Amino acid sequence: MKAVIFDMDGVIFDSEGLYREACISLVQRYDGTVTEDLFERQMGLKMDESQRVAVEVSGAKVSPEEFGRNYEEEFLKRANNELKTIPGVEKLLDFLKGRVRMAIASSTKTAIITGFLEKFGFEKYFDAVVGGDQVINSKPSPEIYLEAARLLGVQPGECLVIEDSPAGIISATRAGMRVLAIRHDHNSQLDLTTAERVFHDHRAVARYIEAFVDTER
């Protein structure tokens, strides 16, 4: 294994709940109906596609474009004050740094990803970042993970991915990569069993990875 590629939301940052809060606030503002199916269908999608799904599923009386503008604003307002890292992720990143190359492949916009990394001083860990606005096709297409491997200068089969959504797991698998999944409060009802292993915290992930990390970058 030469590289580890991370999804971001729910894997590095505890941001899934903030997305939900922003979405609920807007759906209610525009007289829509919030359902759990809405959030399940949004996971792994690029932001513009996620916003379109929110409007369609909720029946909100607003255009996807206007919803999207307000959605990003609502989310960032919450994230600026409430965003936290996933417990144990910094120790995992410290362990991997210098042993493998690392990248983020997230459906979130690149500018938001880099802003969050800088906020917590995490940019030093990553050799590449691929946001949803850098690819044409959303997860479960393999495009975003193949692009991350290309930027890292490694073959897909040399990559391990850490994901938290079914779409992300399928995306990485289609790219020819090994996939580990992280279980948390916001994906507890989703089927993650197509991943190689499912873990409940990053400490367990670190112990698992330690056995086969290639120490030569």
Query: What's the burial of 37, exposed, middle or buried (CB within 10 Å: 0-12/13-18/19+)?
Result: exposed
Q: Nearest 5°: phi and psi at 175?
A: -80, -10
Kindly state whether residues 94 and 140 are assigned to the same domain: yes
Residue 145: inside a domain? yes
Report the C-alpha gap between 23 and 208 in whole angstroms. Answer: 35
Kindly state whether residues 29 and 121 are assigned to the same domain: no
Q: Give Dmax (Cα) for the chain.
A: 55
Report the C-alpha gap between 170 and 182 in whole angstroms. Answer: 14
Kindly state whether residues 42 and 138 are assigned to the same domain: no
Which listed residue (7, 9, 14, 164) is catalytic? 7
Residue 149, number of CB atoms within 10 A of its CB: 27
The better pLDDT of the pair 217, 114 is held by 114
Residue 51 — very low, low, confident or very high, per pLDDT cuts 50/70/90? confident
Residue 3 — very low, low, confident or very high, per pLDDT cuts 50/70/90? very high
Determine the structural domain holding residue 191 and report its residue range: 3-14+84-210
Residue 217: inside a domain? no
Residue 146: inside a domain? yes
Provide the pLDDT for residue 140: 94
Does the pLDDT of residue 141 top 50, yes or no?
yes
Residue 78 — very low, low, confident or very high, per pLDDT cuts 50/70/90? very high
In this structure, of 8-17, 137-146, 203-212, the range with the lowest mean pLDDT score is 203-212
Provide the pLDDT for residue 213: 66
Kindly state whether residues 134 and 70 are assigned to the same domain: no
Q: Of 62, 82, 102, which residue is a domain's last?
A: 82
Kindly state whether residues 99 and 188 are assigned to the same domain: yes
What CATH number does residue 157 fall under? Answer: 3.40.50.1000
- Residues 25-39: pLDDT tens digits? 999 999 999 987 888
Total number of domains constituting the chain: 2
Kindly state whether residues 140 and 74 are assigned to the same domain: no
Q: Of 28, 49, 82, which residue is a domain's last?
A: 82
From 16, 37, 146, select the one nearest 8 (Cα to Cα).
16
Report the C-alpha gap between 150 and 166 in whole angstroms. Answer: 23
What CATH number does residue 58 fall under? Answer: 1.10.150.240
Provide the pLDDT for residue 217: 43
- 58-97 per-residue burial string, b: 16 or more CB within 10 A, e: under 16: bebebebeebbebbbebbbebbeeebebbeebbebbebbe
First to last CA, the chain: 9
Mean pLDDT of 72-88: 95
The yes-or-no answer on residue 31 being catalytic is no
Kindly state whether residues 98 and 153 are assigned to the same domain: yes
Does the pLDDT of residue 215 top 50, yes or no?
no
Residue 216: inside a domain? no
- Residues 89-127: pLDDT tens digits? 999 999 999 999 999 999 999 999 999 999 999 999 999
SS3 of the chain: helix, strand, coil, percent, to 5: 50, 15, 35
Residue 156: inside a domain? yes
pTM of structure: 0.90
Residue 7: inside a domain? yes
Kindly state whether residues 38 and 89 are assigned to the same domain: no
